[in-house]
Chain A
Amino acid sequence: MVSFYSQFQLILPEIFLLTAVSAILVIDLFLPAAKRMATYWLTQGALLVTAVLVFLVTSTSAGSVVVFDGLVVIDELSGLLKILICILLSVGISYSRDYLAHRDIFKGEYFSLALFAALGMLVMVSANHLLTLYLGLELLSLSLYALVAFNRDSKDSSEAAIKYFVLGAIASGMLLYGMSMIYGSTGQLNIEQIVNAISAGNADMDLLRFGLVFVVVGVGFKLGAVPFHMWVPDVYQGAPTSVTLIIGSAPKLAAFAFVVRLLFETLGAATLQLDWSPMLAILAAASLILGNLVAIAQTNLKRMLAYSTISHMGFLVLGFMTGTQQGVSAALFYVVTYALMVVAGFGLMLLLSKRGFESDRLEDFRGLSRTHPWFAFLFLLIMFSMAGIPPMVGFWAKLFILQSIIEQGFVGLALLAVVFSLIGAFYYLRVIKLMYFDEPSASTVAEQRTGSLVMSVNGLLLLALGLAPSWLYSLCEEVIKSSVRLF
């Protein structure tokens, strides 16, 4: 049993982050606009210190430790995800700096909201209790709603924010409704105790299954899987690119934890898995089909990447659907590498934009290899990685998922996934075609930006991980083995 005080030690990263964001909020109030850069550096510092603290806490605690009467769990999965969330946010913010400045929205709110979102994600991935999970999710979602609307003068942003808020609220409602039924069935909110109640046969299984359906709906909404994907394209397109970048990357990792905690740890009993596995299979298949097909018709890169996200979530859900340790490990590998690709993709759009020029239309990438050969090359790596062409890491991510579903005998689903990856390859190729085969139009010239170095590392990492994917997969496998209680 962990002593009362050392409990606080284990959630030190969250405490630090909360303190830091409150401090930054106040400090920013007294900073003149010219010195706003201080806020930027403080934010980066807060994120990095949090990541280091998470590392220290996770590496010193042994195995899974449950604290605060079962509200919070500290395990390797939460440790890995928290560190990655902090790093991804930090990278994303570094890409956003000039973009924000050029749009006169280089304001404190952006940074404090991003940090609150980070805090929400940290709470989510450590949740061991349905309420903690919900609390983290709402903190994340509310920060994101505000971030989307944060460019006040933009009509598109406001529309996207309203849409995101309304649909997000419905999803949260669904989820909460599902959780209430789980509570009604088992009388518990603590994940371990729910599991105990189910395995002891003290649960009303019909009610539980009913709740399960709502939980799956909530999960589908948060992941953006078809048919709960409606918000994704509008929000991705409407939000300022620096916010789309945040929405598209780190929260996917939190959503991974969310699915693992809810479906695997809480409702992972064999009989229930038989119920949710087909539901997820349908979500996955629909996402793969719709995401890839509709992406072809897009002319806006942000919107295209939104539909591509939907199809990638389809792949991710395929990994969950298997319900096996291998499947979840593959899904973790997938989501980590996917987040890296997304942050690089949107990051590149940010670096290429300038005052009054968003560089978010496909047209804007015409002839990029002439004007910015290095950025074009990095974007080529990102696109091939997303399309899953070896030797990029995206290939391994898809391979591992396919392997886990074929192992379970779902050859038909694997073929479907493969066929729609082929269709997906078409629209990624189109971007490469624009960059490499077409001549530049005048508008593509932009000035060199800060963040190029991070961008290069980020892009080359996709290739490097593709050449040496072994350690990352082993890490994912080990983390899942040690953290997720599978049935």
Chain B
Amino acid sequence: MMEYTSLSLVIWLPVVFGVSLLILGKHVAAGTIRVLALVGAMLGLFVALPLWVNFDNLQPGFQFAEYHPWIDAFSINYHLGIDGISLLLILLNCVTTLIVVIAGWEVIRDRVPQYFASFLILSGIMNGVFCALDVALFYVFFEATLIPMFIIVGVWGGPNRVYAAVKFFLYTLAGSLLTLVAIIYLYQVSGGSFSLAQFYETPIRYDAQVLIFLAFFAAFAVKIPMWPVHTWLPDAHVEAPTGGSVVLAAVMLKLGGYGFIRLALPIVPDAARELAPWIIALSLIAVVYIGFVALVQKDMKKLIAYSSISHMGFVTLGIFIFNVQGMQGAIIQMISHGFISGALFLCVGILYDRLHSRQIADYGGVVNRMPIFASFFLLFAMANSGLPGTSGFVGEFLVIMGAAEVNIWFAVAAATTLILGASYTLWMYKRVVFGEVGNDKVAKLSDVNARETLLLIGLAAAVLWMGVYPKPFTDVLTQAVITSLDWASQTKI
């Protein structure tokens, strides 16, 4: 069998670029640093594209596998491989990194090398999470993501950044430490291995399964985040710099959903099925209740953060109804939410850079001064409310269909999001963009520049592509979803 190294490249190339930025930092002008960061992000995307081209949609199991022993004493291996789910998330991550680098181009003036380095390193580490087939390796990458994000929020964040950064770190660490204990327990019962494939096949007693599931739940529910452990997210989003918010919403939350699909369902399927009603209930609460919470927000970033939580409710709902539409919808929703929420945070960032306020009340009539911006913003707002023809619709539609198969009332409750989502997004849009020019500051606004337009065009293209022709995405996913559901439907007791 041919030995691939493309996955290692996807992980380590951004990290190497990030580290070199840190080293060069003092000696090179900020302009050069920006160009280098851009080159790093573009190369990162460039090495990820062949994965998509060469990916075999029909082959079950993991592709592009790499395997090297790492810590022999505990048979921990550097074992990488991807299926369709990982592939899409990796692509999303690489695209987001590129966007973030461009978005931070002239906005970030303080500690430029460290800023770009943090994002590049974070991007590499998150690719590592999506590639890891060894659970110890997965855990290392999963935890390591905390360090750059902690720094990003804490250094370049808003006034209350310290509180937000520490809360983010401790909340997510609390969840993942419990997972660590579960992983070590699995190592013991699986006969001394951390291999994912081994974990999938290890029989586990039902009561142990429940505990392990709860441990996984602690990590991934906090990460994604689910109601009621979501409270760190609005804080982190509000305080993070624009780039931080984009990466957080677009990619980092997906680590949670990915963890559920990759670890929780296949390793402890019986417990997952047994506890699914609870998860579904929590997801529906997130969809409906958090939707209402989003409605009353006065801060745009907070509103989008709550909207993220509500959309992530769809993801967990889709995963835990255990059918193909549901899971496929959940994954499409994750990808689409990556583009849409990233775009929305970017839009808020564009406004914030000009007016230094995120309060809805400080705006009004932006369309009069920024017509181009307003049209893009409208597209993303519509996508966020799940308008057909945008990517937001596909995922939600699939999940609602899947839910209807299980229980029509799940579908009904989930479908309220189409009303709620439209209400909070469009109402915010109306208050910010439409109407007479709100105040003198708004009157002085200038429309988006070329750099910003480029970003918005790219994201708009992605949102529309996924909305109009999602087949390339679903094709990549189908086999992986079927395999995952096969694992999830076995019984291990």
Which A residues form the contact surface with B (CB < 8 A)? 373, 377, 384, 389-391, 395-396, 399-400, 402-403, 406-407, 411, 414-415, 418-419, 421-422, 425-426, 429-430, 432-433, 436-437, 469-470, 473-474, 477
Contact = CB atoms under 8 A, between A and B. Distances in A.
Contact of B143 (A390, A407, A436, A437): A390
Interface string B361-372: 000000000000
B166 A426 contact: yes
A474 B73 contact: yes
Nearest to A415: B181
Given A390-B144, A433-B162, A470-B73, A411 B185 contact: yes
A418 B178 contact: yes
B173 interface: yes
Contacts of B174: 422
B72 interface: yes
B162 A402 contact: no
B180 A418 contact: yes
A419 B170 CA distance: 11
A429 B169 contact: yes
A437 B165 contact: yes
Interface string B67-85: 0011111100000000000
B154 interface: yes
A200 to B, nearest CB: 35
Contacts of B22: 377
Q: What 9 pairs across the A-B complex have the smallest Cβ distances? A: A390-B140, A470-B71, A437-B154, A418-B177, A406-B184, A390-B143, A403-B184, A473-B73, A390-B144
B181 A433 contact: no
A194 to B, nearest CB: 31
Contacts of A389: 143-144, 146-147, 173
Nearest to A423: B170
Interface of B: 22, 25-26, 69-74, 136, 139-141, 143-144, 146-147, 150-151, 154-155, 161-162, 165-166, 169-170, 173-174, 177-178, 180-181, 184-185, 187-188
A477 B166 CA distance: 37
A403 B170 contact: no
Contact of A425 (B139, B173, B185): B173
Contacts of A437: 154-155, 161-162, 165
Given A425-B173, A429-B150, 11 more contacts: A373-B26, A399-B136, A403-B184, A406-B188, A415-B178, A422-B170, A422-B177, A425-B169, A426-B166, A436-B154, A470-B73
A399 B70 contact: no
A477 B73 contact: yes
A373 B24 CA distance: 13
16 contacts: A384-B147, A396-B71, A399-B184, A402-B184, A403-B74, A406-B184, A411-B185, A418-B178, A418-B181, A419-B177, A429-B166, A436-B155, A470-B72, A473-B71, A473-B73, A473-B74
A391 B72 contact: no
Nearest to A414: B181
Given A421-B177, A436-B155, A469 B185 contact: no
B172 to A, nearest CB: 11
Contacts of B178: 415, 418
A405 to B, nearest CB: 9
Contact of B140 (A384, A391, A470): A391
Contacts of A421: 177
A433 B154 contact: yes
Nearest to B139: A390
Q: For B25, B72, B173, which residue has the most chain A Cβ atoms within 10 angstroms? A: B173
Contact of B70 (A390, A402, A432, A470): A470
Nearest to A408: B188
Nearest to A387: B173
Nearest to A437: B154
A430 B25 CA distance: 25
A425 B143 CA distance: 13
A161 B152 CA distance: 44
B406 to A, nearest CB: 34
A356 B151 CA distance: 32
B74 A433 contact: no
A109 to B, nearest CB: 41
A69 to B, nearest CB: 37
A406 B187 CA distance: 10
Nearest to B157: A437
A418 B141 CA distance: 18
B166 A391 contact: no
A230 B302 CA distance: 47
Contact of B170 (A373, A426, A436, A473): A426
Nearest to B141: A390
Contacts of A422: 170, 173-174, 177
A395 B76 CA distance: 14
B71 A469 contact: yes
Contacts of A396: 71
Nearest to A377: B22
Contacts of B162: 433, 437
B184 A414 contact: yes
A163 B469 CA distance: 76
Contacts of B141: 390
Contacts of A399: 136, 180, 184
B170 A429 contact: yes
A373 B73 CA distance: 37
Nearest to A473: B73
A407 B181 CA distance: 11
A415 B181 CA distance: 7
Nearest to B142: A390
Nearest to A469: B71
A167 B26 CA distance: 50
A373 B117 CA distance: 14
B223 to A, nearest CB: 15
